[in-house]
Amino acid sequence: MQQQIRKTVTLAVAAGLAAGVAHAETPINFFEFTEWVYPEVGGASFPTAVWEISPDGRIASEMVNCSPSIFYGGPDIHNTRISGRLVGGGDDDLFGIVLGYTANDNLNPEADYLIIDWKRITQSFTWQDPPASAGSFHDVTPGTDSFAGLRLMRVRGTPTADELWGGVDLPENDVPPFAPGGVTEIARGKNMGFIGNPGDGLDFVIDYTPTNIKVWVNGQLEFDVNGDFPNGKMGLWEVAQDHPSGPNRYEFFSVGPIPADAPDYPYVAASARVDVAVKSVDGSDSEEDSIWTVLSTGTGAAEMVNVSPPNRADVSFAIGGLPVHRGFGVMPVSVRGNRTGGNVVVAETVNLGQFGGYIVGHTGVNTARALTGAEANIDISVAFFPYLGGPWIAGNINADGFTEGVTPGTTLFSTVVPTPDPNDGDGLYNLFVDGANSNTGGLLITTGGNNADRIVSSVAMPDGTWRVGVRRSGNTQFGGPQTFIRNRWNFVYLPINTPDLVGARVTGFDASGAAETDLSAGSYTLTRESEGLYRLNIPGVSPDQGVILMEANARIQLDNFPPFFGPADAPLNHWLSYDEDGNDFIIQQLEMADVLDRTDGPFTFVFVPHEGLGSGTGPTCPPDLNGDGVVDADDFFLFLSLFAAGDSRADFNNDGVIDADDFFAFLSAFAAGC
């Protein structure tokens, strides 16, 4: 007889975006497309394109290192939404999508159409005519630079291959006997404009009208351009893109009307509480048929559902029926289960996707046993923060410190910091976020972004930046091998005046066990029960109404640290988890280097309601500062103490300044009671 072990996962999401609207789309059948080529270029290495179509007509691949080629068809595209996926092969040249193309535009001196394309690396090249027609066309223009990244171009007339390559309009092609032709680069992508690594693919959504074009790639709004845009067909575009590791693929394109109330952001933030049932004879936490099921969730735009089949240690989610994607936001995760020793399990966000073609490239959660990295099941909590929709700043960072998605308008730099001892690896980063101050502005939560056992933590630096460390869960504190390891990670920064925010950066505990903080928001009580074990109570809140996100902030001083990078601070190898006890949260902190036992150290915690921050579902009694359920003299004198100390909890009106306005706002709330 099998024993059934039930596990739960709680999710909370920072909601705030309009719900998506369903609309009819017509699948594109690539068997109905036609190839058009530009004037021939010289060299046997650039033959005419060879397009191969899957039996169902839904996937097209160009098979050779071709000269410039367009493969076009389908309906006219004015006032339509086009969606599809591009998967790059192993080569580093041009591929993309054509908009507004009509028959014979490749040789039409009056042609007018758009190209959206991407390139892996920056390269210079000079294209030539075939020997038999030397000097007749391509030879008249000089070589050009084609820059890595995503661009939007407008093509007029018949451009030379040099103009198409560089996205430029060269004067040599406008001199008789050549008909005027050239290319104008309209814009670079807002996020991927100069990023040469598309990761695991490019998911496109394009809204195309006579006067505006919007393009989302992997959920991020890359282009929003006004103009006078031509009607015509869509097409696939490729130049010299071939590699032994495989060709590019153009997958599952569809065309349909633009929804009347189409949101500016394709995905919706959501929240949920998830249950996992593990069927096992011996009670093991590593069974492969673990079933992850949503138990409770937010409503409307705050609804999150599980999209994972039964499996061990991996779970992915959808919002509004669409899988969560790192291009739309970040998904920090906490473990709900206070274990020690060899039973410790850690969790991180998986940015490379799970479970086959349905959600490849989307974001889920992986849980793994500390020290070994072996997959293991455990309860988790997750919060999804979309790049848009709130006062927070969120970002996904790749192993080299470059962004793979960030809140629009954010300027940030994430720099890999060399460690003094090569044995210590190079997974240490300096994070600068313009407008965010690590010492006074708000709270940072970081999470690993790999399908492994990575843990991430940070420390605030004197200059207002953060030092972020990525480690294998069981690596040594310092001294190698691989104290730090270069890998993906993500973060969310929450300004201290975020509506409904309850959280703090805890620096220690006084003799009575009460928490000491240098940044704090909202009403709560946090006390130390024993070494590495803390009890958190939030007035008016129970654990089934939201989740706790946590990050360790303990630090060490490194010897022989490069002076260019400032103080020699680095995060320690600590990890936090939590359990629930009635209406309280029990937070545990572990030292993860070898012993995996409880220890004390600075840490950050944030409570995220199921319905999302700013939803009005946070603590219901702000003047109850000590969280005892009663508004009385104790709260009044606590406020006076906080006010005199300049504690951020005294910023009662959340305007970022502690002044008389906060005093009178508290008096008014105190008099009103709860």
pLDDT grade for 197, boundaries at 50, 70 and 90: low
CA dihedral 208, 214, 216, 220 (to 10 degrees): -170
For residues 115 and 326, the model is more confident at: 115
Beta-carbon neighbour count of residue 23 at 10 Å?
A: 12
Q: DSSP for 266-305, please give it.
A: SS---BEEEEEEEEESS--S--TT-EEEEEEE--GGGBEE
Phi, psi of 428 (to 5 degrees): -120, 135
Tell me what the pLDDT averaged over the chain comes to.
79
- For residues 575-581, average pLDDT: 92
pLDDT grade for 321, boundaries at 50, 70 and 90: low
CA 438 to chain centre: 21
Q: Which helix (H) or strand (E) holds 637?
A: helix 633-645
Whether 284 shows a pLDDT value over 60: the answer reads no
What span, in angstroms and rounded, lies between the C-alpha atoms of 555 and 647?
A: 23
Looking at the chain, the whole-number percentage of residues with pLDDT higher than 90 is 27
| DSSP E strand boundaries for 181-246 | 181-188, 202-208, 212-217, 220-226, 233-239
* Cα–Cα distance list, 332 to 118, 385, 386, 406, 629 (Å): 30, 8, 11, 14, 30
Least confident range from 353-367, 525-539, 564-578, 643-657: namely 353-367
What span, in angstroms and rounded, lies between the C-alpha atoms of 304 and 296?
A: 9
The candidate with the shortest Cα–Cα distance to 544, out of 611, 465, 606, 636, is: 611
| DSSP letter assigned to residue 19 | P
Q: Give the per-residue pLDDT at 669.
A: 82
pLDDT grade for 378, boundaries at 50, 70 and 90: confident
The candidate with the shortest Cα–Cα distance to 407, out of 395, 417, 397, is: 395
Q: Give the per-residue pLDDT at 630.
A: 77
Whether 340 shows a pLDDT value over 50: the answer reads yes
Tell me: cis bond preceding 176? Omega within 30 of 0 counts.
no
The answer to whether the beta carbons of residues 51 and 63 sit under 8 Å apart is yes
For residues 600 and 294, the model is more confident at: 600
The answer to whether the beta carbons of residues 271 and 93 sit under 8 Å apart is no
Q: Give the per-residue pLDDT at 30.
A: 95
Instruction: Please list, in sequence order, all residues whose beta carbon lies within 8 angstroms of the beta carbon of residue 171, skipping any fewer than 6 positions away.
Output: none
Secondary-structure percent of the chain, ordered helix, strand, coil, rounded to 5:
10, 40, 50
Whether 24 shows a pLDDT value over 80: the answer reads no
The answer to whether the beta carbons of residues 217 and 232 sit under 8 Å apart is no
The answer to whether the beta carbons of residues 207 and 258 sit under 8 Å apart is yes
First to last CA, the chain: 52
